[in-house]
Structure 1
């Protein structure tokens, strides 16, 4: 009987594990059936047309428990709530693992990493042997930053509006090893790719080895001309690291199309994967020369898995990524991008046109922004506006403040409704009058 019980547990665990990679996924059993009739209705319509169909998106909104929260979450640029099917998957994986972690984690759930690697590679448009699964963009990009063999005096070009953890990493290398970390200053919004590319080009010297560029600037949501920067850098023999934390799962692109050498992202932002999941990609020819951030028995091997030697971590969270990809692909990457851009435009255009004292810090041109938009109000600091939105209206945003930016970042997601954004506009009107 004990052997039969163990076999049943094994089969149940295997079926649960493979579900996210088959027609038996939680998404296929629930959301896919709800969306299917609307997919037929939307046939032949462009992504921008679908973006305005509230009946379609009301079904998507039902797939998120965040849709029913009393607090209006408009800081999805920080971390996004996972869909209900993702929550259920993680809960199921946790229940399985907790029966005996040393068995169910290492011998059952761990077997799901390779199918997940394949699934992520298809989404990214890359070779699976170039994908490492980790916990967030900071871990992915710090692996590259600290893993590169740079010498004293070698130069790295970045930007004052890169993500703080990446700037800190480069500064630490500068302080400890004597590399030269140069940062460009941009006054966004800028609707001129050539101006941005020229700024990076003009900063290059014979000692420049790396350019670090953020795909979507987290402070204000500006979309950088990454492909053009990569093409220019490679003409000078310079490698490019791309921070894709706010682009992957939102913009409809393939990592392989960017032309970069290294790419890191957090999957718990716009992909809506479980919190604490991320991905790193690097060109296959670079893998052997990059040292792992965490030790590996063969640190110079040309196997992407050397970057996954993290010790014990949450396998249930990792495996929950599969259902997030199912949800994302069920909507469609281009539809998702256009919907989130439409939501941003809906409130931002109204606010800047009809609410006194309001100023935007983000371009409204489709080529330069999507979901993230920075807003400020004359006579108030960014923290004051952020506090007023929450304390008086229960709208959660985040204040973005440094030497170059002073604004509140507002970021809707696909579960955000137009009535939610009307609530935001009413709040901005009320604050402006007061």
Structure 2
């Protein structure tokens, strides 16, 4: 076969391979047969019942290289490791790209974006025409924060427990444009939806235009009553921005059912997509009113794709998202949610028996899932963090935020029960000094 035929054959194969949603997906290559048999074995089992089935989850764990890492990774609330299939997809697409970037990026890989958009929308229970693919929750939410028309004196209500990048974006608008940024201060855990809703309601004035709310609070894992807040806000003509960085790909919900107007998330947390991937959802009728962060056409267009212009970007990372969706769907959102909640409850319940240790997260399922945080009397977060590294090579996240001085612990589906037993053992030793 001559060189020309070789090249045509190669391009045909790469085109057929393109996209995680084809028969040639890496997930199908590595997992389909085994996981199909696994699903047949456990078909119809309740998700809560399956949460403690270690035989099932042992198979899932094998899909992550992180399950055999030399450290115990319990900071999945920061960035989750990707499954092996996702890593391989990014590597494969990166190698393909570097055979001829301007061709393979724009003519081959870019053609897979619409299938990806549809799959993300299906997972979010919304229209593909409301989904933009980007790099993280910060980019998604700042696009909206900077893109909304607000006038001097208009008010925005957020909280001191929102994510710093979003708070700083609002503060920048306050400094530059004279909007008023109000911040509530919560002491979590709170196990009363109405108390939270009232806090936002009581902060509203005739000048309030926006409420910014975090679905799952990054610091403590508190699940916020977003739908109730949004309904209250809409009755007063106020729009709602939802930070879903820690909820999409973990909790079972449809984005429109939250009843917000805008929603941004990172895909490299509990969806386990490639590091540096995210998503923006904008209610269809709101798209045209939001200015894009980087303009490449009509800024008042009603096409959600106007928010995807970044110039040259990482197509391999973008296309790797598809394999993460395959991996996620093979487990199922509800099953994943219940497993991760089970893991959090497993270690947290045991940790409550440790002297001098305090849990700062509710154990009621309505108010937490993956993230929980602890403190130990007499020790700073950094001291606890350092001791966990020293004693057990356990990676967590120390947090010092106002009155909140805690260590955040966040397992994932690849986390082993033995890892959590080690965590509890180390916490017990640390508390004893």
Does TM-score exceed 0.5, indicating one fold?
yes
* Structure-2 separation of matches of 1:301 and 1:148: 14
Q: Is the 8 A contact 1:296 1:306 kept in 2?
A: yes
Query: What pairs with 1:3-402 in structure 2 (closer than 5 Å)?
Result: 3-18=4-19, 20-352=20-352, 354-402=353-401
Q: CA deviation at 1:296?
A: 2.0
Q: State yes or no: 1:423 paired with 2:422.
A: yes
Contact 1:64 1:415 in 2 (8 A): yes
1:86 and 1:177 map into 2 onto residues whose CA distance is 42
For residues 15-60 of structure 1, the C-alpha deviation after alignment (integer angstroms, 9 at most, x for no partner) is 2213x11233221222232222332222232100000100000000
| In 1: Cα distance, 2:15 partner to 2:167 partner | 42
1:276 Cα deviation after fit: 0.3
- Classify the secondary structure of the residue corresponding to 2:18: helix
Answer yes or no: is the 8 Å Cα contact 1:35–1:56 preserved in 2.
Answer: no
Q: Structure 1 CA distance, aligned partners of 2:164 and 2:127?
A: 30
SS in 2 for 1:199: helix
User: 2-side partners of 1:118 and 1:6: how far apart?
Assistant: 31
Whole-Å separation in 2 of the counterparts to 1:258 and 1:388: 40
Structure 1, gaps ≥5 residues long? none
Q: Distance in 1 between matches of 2:106 and 2:6?
A: 19
Over aligned residue pairs, what C-alpha RMSD do you find? 0.9
Aligned length: 432
CA distance in 1, matches of 2:5, 2:312: 29
- Stretches (4+) displaced over 6 A: none
The answer (yes or no) to whether the contact 1:263–1:280 under 8 Å persists in 2 is yes
SS in structure 1 of the partner of residue 280 of structure 2: strand
Residues 155-182 of structure 1: per-residue CA shift (max 9 Å, x gap): 0000110000000000000000000000
Once the two structures are TM-superposed, the CA of residue 83 in structure 1 deviates from its matched residue by 0.2
Return the offset for 1:254. 1.1
Which consecutive unaligned segments of at least 5 residues does structure 2 have? none
**In the TM superposition, what is the alpha-carbon distance from 1:2 to its structure 2 partner?**
4.2
Q: Deviations over 1:165-202 (max 9, x none)?
A: 00000000000000000001110000000000011111
TM-score by length of 2: 0.98
Rounded Cα–Cα distance in structure 2 between residues aligned with 1:313 and 1:203: 40
TM-score, length of structure 1 as denominator length: 0.98
